[in-house]
Structure 1
């Protein structure tokens, strides 16, 4: 297994060579793609008081938790002792994506299907439990599975093992940007000769150890009102809400998908990634790189799925980047993550899923909570479901530390 680092420049353009044939979702407002998308279009939020641990003593008590996930319904009993919640969510999303795609490691094809995922924290809850055992009982009581269950690459490994996927594998660690970076890395593997890749991002660190790390960042909203806690682009924005979950995809070579008559959710047409310089955001540059990679101009983008930090300075910077690329209020902008919270590595991949389904249904999902953007954020924010003719969407993501990533997705199977 290798650890992949996103490239600084976009790959040579071959628009439409990678298509998405499978989607699997685990989100705070819906488990499975259909349940999540229905809730998203209805504006149903999954942000609520924490239940995975007692948060009464903490200054922040709201999060986005995946509802109704019964571990035994998704994993064989032998896997339960060796997996963290994040891996269990990942395995469920991967299973749904593969079932949706109808592709798998049959016979000689197994080496043509690989796995690249994104993670920010790995198995935090598993690691906390074993550290508690070490401290209270001693080393003999620490699980042997601790050697890998905490690791950020464990989701890639467990998906590969469970489904017999022996193609190229990897993991990217770029926080919120990771969900895009993983899919871009998977596309590179297809261009090297792979047939299909399971890819995307899922994260979960809703435990006291993980919560302490989130609080240390200083960017969490302290609101106790779930409806007002996370307000992207709002003048009253005071930080974000953390969530768990994400989306995984089957990314397939377009020619292979066409030959087998696969149903295609959309194409992954363009990718760009940059790193912020001293005192300077380079999000606009990432967007331009993605557009250039897709071979489209700004007027070829019909909707933008925003990073939506809900931090006043970060929101202004994103609005300025959008105005720089498209013009002020020139393109509809939405942030359905306002219903889930920021999912770390799972956030951008869930936005990719939302973009694909928006293109399919010709509808833009809403941003909830924010009624109107602040005066210093000149964006056309979609706050209610908006039906529009949609050809392509741009998805933006920023990871802590200066990572910027952007992706252009298109509708349906490209013509030859």
Structure 2
């Protein structure tokens, strides 16, 4: 399914990032270009009895400094991260929500796990002490839409609000839906996603997929497309973006990181059905939606599952679309782990920064490409080059595939930004 075409693509004017290797956009971008990883021993609880003991944790996040004191005990850490990233994005865009029509501002975020840490704490109280010790906020803090709701309330955004639940693909799906809302006359949309499921309940659920790495060495635990790939490392965090109608962004001479030019989503066929995975088709549809050809794409931000079979499938899709080693491919998530509902949103934010700064961030830790992964993977060091068009790929557990095309915003003659798709 695609979102259709339009003459003016919405423009991203604000970016907020909370990531394991950097709190805030500047810190994250600096760490990512330097190849600094945020993956390390899991510290949010004692993982001694679990086969996986590494994670990408947002270690320097202090909810007391980022979230109003009355709100912090009512909400889960995942919502704390989302509120902080949303505030960063709004500030970065130079927007004052109180001065805008409240029904023209929308919020749509992605969530994979909901408030698992909050929920586990309250369930433990129920089992150990009784129902009278369970807080009333349990009824809302775990809910998938809690972050969307809290952002909407905090900033007075009373336009269309929603949540997308398609695991790691959710961040791109949320941005795609935000584009639809802009086309339905929303002035701006706060969108993206965060996740924080590094608690026993959350980790146990993730281990059930059989895709999490059990290696103890942080430098060798998450190696997408590598001959030594063994699964992925879970993480927390994500990114929130502020999308604006192109005309509104141009009218106030806002900085545009890039435009959301194309989007598509597909679903994999049932296992053992003989059908082909849907990632390649999602990419083809997104490029067609953006009106660009494969040779127009300057970089692909890969889903990078770190699972050998899934890596081969993604590499085959990229190679079939672009040719062998014909386009730079990168996976900066090797420095953060896979962030579930926040992962694809962080990839989109990173792609926008790559466009804005004309540099492709590296994939770290990978040493030798696996057979069947004939990719021009950007390894070790950033690659400095013009980036006018980026394709972001994502896959979610259960067969979700999503693709997003982001393009540079060309300046108009008067120095503003017109947000036009230049095909």
Bucket of the pairwise TM-score, normalised by the shorter protein = over 0.9
Aligned to 2:35: 43
Partner of 1:270: 262
Does the alignment pair 1:79 with 2:71?
A: yes
- How do 1:393-408 and structure 2 match up within 5 A? 393-408=390-405
CA-CA distance at 1:243 after TM superposition = 0.3
CA separation in 1, counterparts of 2:300 and 2:198?
29
The within-5 A match list for 1:230-245 is: 230-245=222-237
The answer (yes or no) to whether the contact 1:104–1:110 under 8 Å persists in 2 is no
Question: Match of 2:407, SS?
Answer: strand
Deviates more, 1:337-346 or 1:214-223: 214-223
Q: Is the 8 A contact 2:98 2:156 kept in 1?
A: no
Alignment match, 2:296? 300
Distance in 2 between the 1:78 and 1:329 partners? 53
Query: Alpha-carbon deviations, 1:144-171, whole Å to 9, x = none?
Result: 0001000111000000011111111000
| Correspondence for 2:10 | 18
What is the TM-score when the length of structure 2 is the normalising length? 0.95
In the alignment, the residues of structure 2 paired with residue 142 and residue 15 of structure 1 have an alpha-carbon distance, to the nearest angstrom, of 52
Matched, 1:215 2:207: yes
Measured in 1, the distance between the counterparts of 2:84 and 2:50 equals 31
Q: Secondary structure at the match of 1:171?
A: strand
What secondary structure sits across from 1:291 in the alignment? helix
Query: How far 1:390 moved relative to its partner?
Result: 1.4
Per-residue deviation, 1:176 = 0.4
Aligned to 1:371: 367
CA 1:415–1:243 in 2, change beyond 3 Å: closer, same or farther?
closer
- 1:107 deviates by 4.2
Tell me the residue number matched to 1:3: none
> Displacement of 1:67 after TM fit?
2.0
Q: Does the 8 Å CA contact 1:246/1:350 hold for their aligned counterparts?
A: yes
CA distance in 1, matches of 2:32, 2:397: 26
Asked if residue 166 in structure 1 is aligned to residue 162 in structure 2, the reply is no
Residues 1:385 and 2:364 are matched in the alignment: no
Any idea what the Cα deviations from partners look like across 1:275-299, whole Å, max 9, x if unmatched? 0113420100000010001000000
> Take 1:397 and 1:104, find their aligned partners in 2: how far apart are those partners?
32
Q: Distance in 2 between matches of 1:287 and 1:76?
A: 41
Separation in 2 of the partners of 1:110 and 1:132? Answer: 39
C-alpha distance in 1 between matches for 2:43 and 2:71: 24
Cα contact 1:28–1:340 (8 A) shared by 2:
yes
Secondary structure (helix, strand or coil) at the match of 1:122 reads: coil
Question: Equivalent residue of 1:186, what SS?
Answer: helix
Cα distance between partner residues in 1 of 2:162 and 2:288 = 26
Partner of 2:327: 331
| Aligned-residue offset at 1:324 | 1.1
CA offsets 1:174-226 (integer angstroms, 9 cap, x no match)? 00000000011011111111000000010110001111111111111011000
Q: Distance in 1 between matches of 2:99 and 2:387?
A: 39
Structure 1 residue 15: deviation in Å? 5.0
1:120 aligned residue (112, 116, 139): 112
SS state at 2:208 partner: helix
Q: Partner residue of 2:312?
A: 316
Q: 1:330-357 CA deviation, whole Å, 9 max, x = no partner?
A: 1000000000000001111100011011
In structure 2, distance between residues paired with 1:372 and 1:249 = 34
Deviation at 1:414, TM superposition (A): 4.3
| Correspondences of 1:134-213 after superposition (within 5 Å) | 134-213=126-205
Residue in structure 2 matched with residue 345 of structure 1 by the alignment: 341
Corresponding residue pairs, total: 408
Report runs of 4+ in structure 1 exceeding 2 Å deviation: 104-108, 412-416
For residue 261 of structure 1, report the CA deviation from its aligned partner: 1.1
User: What CA deviation, in whole Å up to 9, does each residue of 1:105-136 have, x standing for no partner?
Assistant: 23451111110000001100000000001111
Cα separation, partners in 2 of 1:205 and 1:415, compared to 1, 3 Å: closer
Deviation at 1:17, TM superposition (A): 2.1
RMSD of the TM alignment (CA)? 1.0
Q: Secondary structure at the match of 2:250?
A: helix
Whole-Å separation in 2 of the counterparts to 1:212 and 1:257: 44
What's the TM-score, normalizing by structure 1? 0.96
Distance 2:3 2:348 in 1: 19
2:414 is aligned to none
1:409 is matched with: 406
Q: How does 1:48-67 map to 2 (within 5 A)?
A: 48-67=40-59
Residue 319 of structure 1: SS of its match in structure 2? helix
